[in-house]
Amino acid sequence: MSFVRPEVRRALWRWREVLAGVGLLALGLWWGFGAIGWMINGLGYVLTAMAGALVVLGLQRGRFRDGADGPGVVQIVEGRVAYFGPLTGGAVDMADLSRLSLDRRMHPAHWILAQPGHDPLHIPVTAKGADQLFDAFTSLPGLRTEYMLRELGSDTSREVVIWQRRQIAPALH
């Protein structure tokens, strides 16, 4: 029996990094400015900086998470994103990814991962394990994280390209 309502538990879990960062930030400030001794003060300053970074990262991750009650399961193993859905599924290697799009015309919205020579992989943003995609997407070279998060939170009903691999022209000899 849980004493915390399910919607409160989900909200706390969604923003868990931010909550941990705020707690560590308070401890770091207390150690940095309230403790006696140069060693504890120094640890407090370092902890404050690390906690600030955790809060910023937690805010990005919290904005990315959109629940886990959608269809299918996402699994990421060694750079390969796999989606096991009730009707579709597939796998894409992140190293071979050519385009990442977000289609908000579907309900729920879907990530579209395109790979040359294969059908695009459609993953609902609410699929179980879809929060793992944040780390996979941020590893893409040149991805603008804030743009991705802004489009994810947008209410417009359209497909938008979040990231596309640059085509490098072959060197001429």
The pLDDT tens digits of the residues spanning 125-146 come to 999 999 999 999 999 999 999 9
Q: 153-171, pLDDT tens digit by residue?
A: 998 899 999 999 987 767 6
Give every strand in the sheet of 89-93, ordered side by side.
73-77, 80-84, 89-93
Local confidence band at 21 (pLDDT 50, 70, 90 cut-offs): very high
CA distance 51 to 62: 16
Alpha helices in the chain (DSSP H): 6-14, 16-34, 38-64, 133-138, 145-153
Residue 79 pLDDT more than 80?
yes
| Mean pLDDT computed over every residue of the chain | 92
Global model pTM greater than 0.85:
no
Residue in the structure block whose two tokens are 């691999």: 165
